[in-house]
Amino acid sequence: MKRFVFFIGFLVFSCLAEAQHTPDTLGIGLPVISQVNQGGSYITFPIDIGNLEPLWFEANINPNFYLRHSKNFRLLGVITPQIILRMYQETSFPVRTPSYIPQITLYYMFSGKANARNASFYFRLAHHSNGQDGPFYLDNGEINLKSGNFATNFFEIGFIKTHFDKRFHAYQFFKTSFEVHPNSWSISQLKGQYSTVRWHNAFSVFKLPADAMASKKKKARLSLKGELTWMFGDLNGWDWYSLNRVNVKFTASYYPKFFEDVGFFVQFYHGLDYYNIYFRHQIDVLRFGIMTEKLRF
């Protein structure tokens, strides 16, 4: 735990220190910051390596609708009707219990200008369900994965630090946030086996090619993102310091020149499953696919 706290502290210090030597002429506004935080849409290939059930694909449909769009302003509202679905390699190719995660997020940037170094705050309200109304448990006491009802609501409060590294032509983002699921906002069956408080941390780097610096619409060709979540609350009887409470994800993506907004990615995920009622499954998976983020710096 001490090493983990030291690591997070080091990231925060690095972001603050490097930002002091960064010019303001390469700034980005809230639309880009929100896109990085919300994440892009993707489709995986049917070649996962790990203990996830055999899939034809997993798709994350993650469009963003902006309530206000301008370069120099401090406040931005975003509506995101996110849907995650999995098609299984079974007879008739079923798509079981998609995750519906509609959300509204409010961003506030502490500076009124799009600077190369900046800090932002955000607040999110979200719903997560699977669109089913069957009993949560089967007669044998197991969770009903095919038609069992899953529903929870939560809010998230977070902080995002951004800066531009001139030496590497790269934008860097550090995020830390707390996600809270009040007991009265979730179905009663989740109590004691679904984390109600989650601490999210993410560090992202978007590398721009050197010739992009002269363009008005700069697009990153390479990106790296590391994410770590620590889950608190009453969870399967685990001690608060148990490593079972940790979810980690590493994603690397490459956007070739011959595609406009589509790139390839490779991702490793370890932790509890994020796919609605499958939340008790501990998974380790390495997967590949295509992704779109439509980021213009």
What total of structural domains would you count in the chain?
1
pTM (predicted TM-score):
0.86
Mean of the per-residue pLDDT values for the chain? Answer: 87
pLDDT of residue 198 exceeding 80, the answer is yes
CB 19 within 8 A of CB 163: yes
Of 198, 264, 194, 193, residue with least CA distance to 228: 198
Is residue 234 a part of any domain in this protein? yes
Q: How many helices (H) and strands (E) does the chain have?
A: 2, 14
Is residue 204 a part of any domain in this protein? yes
CB 290 within 8 A of CB 43: yes
Mean pLDDT across 41-48: 96
| Domain hosting residue 247, numbered range | 2-292
Is residue 297 a part of any domain in this protein? no
Is residue 141 a part of any domain in this protein? yes
Place 295 in a pLDDT band, splitting at 50, 70 and 90: confident
Is residue 187 a part of any domain in this protein? yes
DSSP for 56-114 reads: EEEEEE---EES---SS-SEEEEEEEEEEEEEESSTT--B-S-EEEEEEEEEEESSSS-
Is residue 94 a part of any domain in this protein? yes
Helical spans, DSSP H, in 110-227: none
Of 200, 205, 198, residue with least CA distance to 175: 200
Q: Identify any residues that bridge with 57 across adjacent strands, giving them in sequence order.
A: 87
| CA–CA distance, 96 with 211 (Å, rounded to integer) | 45
pLDDT of residue 239 exceeding 50, the answer is yes
Is residue 85 a part of any domain in this protein? yes
Place 69 in a pLDDT band, splitting at 50, 70 and 90: low
Share of the chain above pLDDT 70, in %: 86
CATH number at residue 237: 2.40.230.10
pLDDT of residue 10 exceeding 90, the answer is no
Report pLDDT for 124.
98
Task: Extract the tokens encoding 204.
Answer: 């992202």
